[in-house]
A and B are shown apart, each in its own frame.
Chain A
Amino acid sequence: MADRFDSPYDIQTPPGAEGWEELYSYSSLFTESRRDYEDGGFWFHDGVHWPEALTPWDTTLFEFAIASLSQYNTRHYVIPPALGVDFRILNGYVYLSPVPAPMEEIEGRVPEFLERAGHYFQNWDSLYDDWLVKIRDLVQQLSALDLSGLPSREPLEVITSGAGQGSGNRLLSAYHRLLDHALTLWQYHFEFLNLGYAAYLDFFGFCKAAFPSIPDLAIAKMVAGVDVDLFRPDDELKRLARLAVSSGVDDRFDVGAIEQTFEKLASDEVGAAWIAEWEKAAEPWFNFSTGSGFYHSDKIWIENVEVPLGYIADYIVKVKEGVDLNRPVAALHVERDRVVGEYRELLDSDEDREAFDAKLGLSRTVFPYVENHNFYVEHWAHSVIWRKMRDLGNVLVEAGFIAEVEDVFMFKRAELSDVLFDLYSAWAVGTKPAGPGRWPAEIERRHGIHDALKQWSAPPALGIPPEVVTEPFTVMLWGITSDSVSAWLSSGDESADGSLSGFAASPGLVEGPARVIFSADQISEIEDGEILVAPLTAPSWAPVFGKIKATVTDVGGMMSHAAIVCREYGLPAVTGTAFGTKTIKTGQVIRVDGNTGKVQVLDD
């Protein structure tokens, strides 16, 4: 077993990707001037959120997210042992490195943490209520941004109202506000998350001290909510499927001709009533990404209606077969109470039971945020951001800067300020902008580089691993522990017998044929009774969980979205195997043990 991972400085540029560094912010690159620090650190690939090579603009939300996470640890709550999480982009893939607080400062940080975090814990419910208002307001502001093109004349009203400013100003400002709002969005995201995990970790640590062998899954189960916003989109699909059957319009959902469904529905009143219900559900619940939400290429239900309509069609078949689609909410509550009651009873003393109750209580207070924020931020708000960026793409296509709307994501975010100024000033002056002569060829070149980067396989980690992984959020958010690091280091030795290990994220033992899926576009390939093997799964894949027998992912821990959804659907899951999609091939029969976190290929 090796004792370190490759140095970031020894990683080769994939063929055809020469010059990739120009696609990303200089500050996010491994840089000679910081070499001593970078080479001595430990960097892991965050495949949970960013499994694929990023386009230049998509790094915006990555950089905003990690900077905001860090800011809350370092500058707001003064988390005693942890500063932020440093981040780099290498060959288009993201690498993270938790930064510990200096040992000698930890003690001094404690009183500040107590005061600041204490305020949030003591006022959690009212602050969270405020958060829900703030986040909806922010989405509203994002939605209101006007990123349309420039008119040949300002409307007369601009003159008569004495507005004193024009459309060019509006467009430039809208783009800058989009960036400002996106950063605010990520500030809001981490306003609660780090503290939520800290409270959860405290309960987690207590349970592990009381019951050294308690499965992580059991702890998650005691805390997790039953009615979670992330399940709402899927619940809405089921509701619409039942409505289609009960109102007799179910024959209009023909999987082979799903694009005509709305046309057929609109032909009469019953169908129109169904469409009205659809629209009620769609905003906001179908602002739901088929991926992690961090890629402009992730499909959003509301913009790709064939995805939710296809799921509805599948559910309609089940409704007609008499299958009960309702989640067994009452049974889930009973099971959660049973698990809590039995562990509680096994505790050693009333003193311990009192501590258990207090920690469980706080964990449950903070957990709705932990579970629900993802819909509001990564799904809903991001959907709006991608939409607005496409509006901007349209403007640039019309002005001849780029060939396709999607090309807007091949600009770095700061470049777009210059691009828009170019567009605006030429419009103002009444001449031709310089961009159309410059960008189409450059964007073409960038596509070539990005395509080459996509073929590259990012190693799970770089640099020198710490003796033990102690950074609390690394463990919780990314599922990276001392054990997983050593598993990565010995992965060469391990793959010989075709077995993989990861987190026992959802219990059960099954065998079946594997279906290896690399992106949401391939979801339709999944057949009944197969075992899904994917880099990661998104919550919006929920409807396929009715078909599959188990899930294996490359990345993610006990609290990854994949793990949460699998537990909800009662399917065995092993997450964070690192090499699942590389080792397993579609059609191979595999055994997935969600009790131990082992995956075995049974035939070749």
Chain B
Amino acid sequence: MTDSVTAVVFGSLASEQHTKVGGKCASLATMSQAGMPVPPGFAVLTEVFADAKEASGLMPRLNELVAHIHPEDQAALKVGAEAAREIVLSWEIPERHENCIRRMYDDLCTLSGLDQVPVAVRSSATAEDSPDASFAGEHDTYLWVVGIDDVLDRIKACWASLYTERAIAYRNQMGYDHAQVDMAVAVQKMVRPRSAGVAFTLDPTNGDRSGICIDSAWGFGEGVVSGDVTPDNFLVDKVMWTINRRTLSPKTHAHLLVDGVDGGLPKVDLVELPEDQVHAPSLTDEEIVAIARMARQAEKHYCCPQDIEWAVDADLPDGENVVLLQARPETVWSKKSRGVHAKADSMASIVDTLVNPLYARKGSQPA
């Protein structure tokens, strides 16, 4: 029996497949193909989800469980969602697909030089005909998954995350058919971040398009996104590549990988940091510029300001250790006009400049 081609490395996804792999996978594929340093991995196509669903024969039962729940009936939603997720977790992945996923995982192990490469397993809901695009970030992501058996389990867990109480309530409210919802999954080499964070390809304090603003903390970027650590902040000029502003924050805690209890999976936990890390910059100057260059590359690729997630992988050598985890359009400043509207007449403009020099205000601005 031949294996199907239903798990595809990011770099090889054809553009016509992008609609079938969900937003997350499509974005990783696009970035990978544009030469941006995303961590290697593969997409498990929606076809796998659909075939597993079909093979289980349980979709009518599942639909029955959730389709009629009133969107505001919290108690019923809780019961229905739990039952639905249990059903999805019981699905078998058809063998031809499982073989394909196994081969992909083996290849990823070989590429990483590890027997069992730790991976992130991320939900990637399809945007088409589905409300689930608006649930970006709501679906599950599993970090530090090791070994093919756990990978297969977590893929199903991602599928199951389609049936959260909120998602069910939303679909019922909008009148969407639960049976039409599909989900792909991204399996990606786990980055072991020494530092991680976000970057904007403009200065969010004033909309300055010449700046790239980086927030960075030790360990995983979760703390930067959720706001439970105060990150270092750097502003890089995207033409000159100089670091124009640096604000170091006391970083008392970090999201770090801790060993699992009794040999269980390691997990990411908020950990107190030793004194020497609290005040030290979480990035070197070279890394700051490398992150900025990567962000600029994404901005040029997508032709609009970007909001990216990045990490510095502790396993990779200096100079190749900055990786791109995610890129999405910046939505606040990129919609506003930042025109100067200087006087068209040079002489009138020079008089303005002499009488009201801009730099005169420099020192009077709050630091």
Contacts and interface: CB of A to CB of B under 8 A. Distances in A.
Contacts of A460: none
Given A206-B340, A468-B360, A482-B363, A213 B211 contact: yes
A352 B341 contact: yes
B350 A212 contact: no
B208 A352 contact: no
Interface stretch (B133-141, B237-245, B275-283): B237-245
Contacts of B344: 354-355, 358
B203 to A, nearest CB: 6
B354 A595 contact: no
A480 B360 CA distance: 11
A482 B362 contact: yes
B346 A362 contact: yes
Nearest to B213: A213
Given A212-B206, A481-B359, A352 B346 contact: no
B361 interface: yes
A117 B348 CA distance: 11
Given A202-B346, A202-B350, A349-B337, A212 B357 contact: no
Nearest to B339: A348
Nearest to A122: B347
Given A79-B354, A212-B203, A595 B342 contact: no
Contacts of A595: 242-244, 285
Nearest to B285: A509
Given A202-B353, A218-B239, A362-B346, A475 B359 contact: yes
B357 A481 contact: no
A468 B364 contact: yes
Q: How large is the interface on A (under 10, 10 to 19, 20 to 34, 35 or more residues)?
A: 35 or more
B205 to A, nearest CB: 9
A210 B355 CA distance: 19
The A interface is mostly helix, strand or loop, or mixed, namely helix
Contacts of B339: 348-349, 351-352
A197 B206 CA distance: 28
Interface stretch (A176-184, A258-266, A290-298, A338-346): A338-346
A239 B237 CA distance: 37
Contacts of B358: 204-205, 208-209
A226 interface: no
Contact of A80 (B240, B355, B363): B355
B28 interface: no
Contacts of B337: 348-349
A504 B351 CA distance: 28
B235 interface: yes
Interface in B317-367: 337-342, 344, 346-355, 357-364
Interface string B212-231: 00000000000000000000
B246 interface: yes
Residue of B340, B350, B361 with most chain A CB atoms under a 10 A cut-off? B350
A549 interface: no
Interface stretch (A106-114, A407-415, A436-444): A106-114
Nearest to B363: A482
Nearest to B207: A212
Interface string A463-475: 0000111101001
Contact of A217 (B242, B338, B346, B359): B242
A159 interface: no
A134 B5 CA distance: 81
A566 to B, nearest CB: 14
B210 A211 contact: yes
A528 interface: no
Given A202-B346, A217-B240, A482 B209 contact: no
Nearest to A483: B363
B203 A213 contact: yes
Given A343-B210, A468-B363, A210 B349 contact: no
B350 to A, nearest CB: 5
A121 B285 CA distance: 43
Nearest to B349: A202
Q: How large is the interface on B (under 10, 10 to 19, 20 to 34, 35 or more residues)?
A: 35 or more
A512 interface: no
A166 interface: no
A212 to B, nearest CB: 5
Interface string A561-601: 00000000000000000000000000000000001100000
A198 interface: yes
Contacts of A358: 344, 346
B353 A218 contact: no
A470 B359 CA distance: 8
Contact of A346 (B210, B285, B362): B210
B346 A213 contact: no
Interface string A206-225: 10111111110110010000
A211 B210 CA distance: 6
Nearest to B338: A348
A595 B349 CA distance: 30
B351 A80 contact: yes
Given A209-B342, A213-B203, A352-B339, A218 B240 contact: yes
Interface in A430-484: 467-470, 472, 475, 481-483
A110 B206 CA distance: 32
A519 interface: no
Nearest to B342: A355
Contacts of A596: 243-244, 246
Given A81-B354, A215-B244, A481 B362 contact: yes
A486 B367 CA distance: 13
Given A208-B358, A215-B244, A218-B237, A201 B340 contact: no
B237 A352 contact: no
A208 B235 CA distance: 15
A498 interface: no
A106 B363 contact: no
A211 B363 contact: no
Nearest to A468: B360
Nearest to A469: B360
Nearest to B239: A342
Nearest to B289: A595
A596 B285 CA distance: 12
Contacts of A468: 360-361, 363-364
A209 B359 CA distance: 10
Interface in A158-215: 198-199, 201-202, 204-206, 208-215
20 contacts: A81-B354, A205-B353, A205-B357, A208-B358, A209-B358, A211-B211, A212-B208, A214-B210, A215-B237, A217-B242, A342-B238, A343-B239, A348-B337, A348-B339, A349-B337, A351-B339, A472-B354, A475-B359, A482-B362, A596-B244
Given A355-B344, A595-B242, 4 more contacts: A79-B354, A198-B353, A342-B239, A595-B285
Interface of A: 79-82, 106, 110, 113-114, 117-118, 121, 198-199, 201-202, 204-206, 208-215, 217-218, 221, 338-339, 342-343, 346-349, 351-352, 354-355, 358-359, 362, 467-470, 472, 475, 481-483, 485-486, 504, 507, 509, 595-596
Query: Across chains A and B, which 3 residue pairs bring their CB atoms closest together, nearest first?
Result: A482-B363, A211-B210, A470-B360
Interface of B: 203, 206, 208-211, 235, 237-240, 242-246, 285, 337-342, 344, 346-355, 357-364
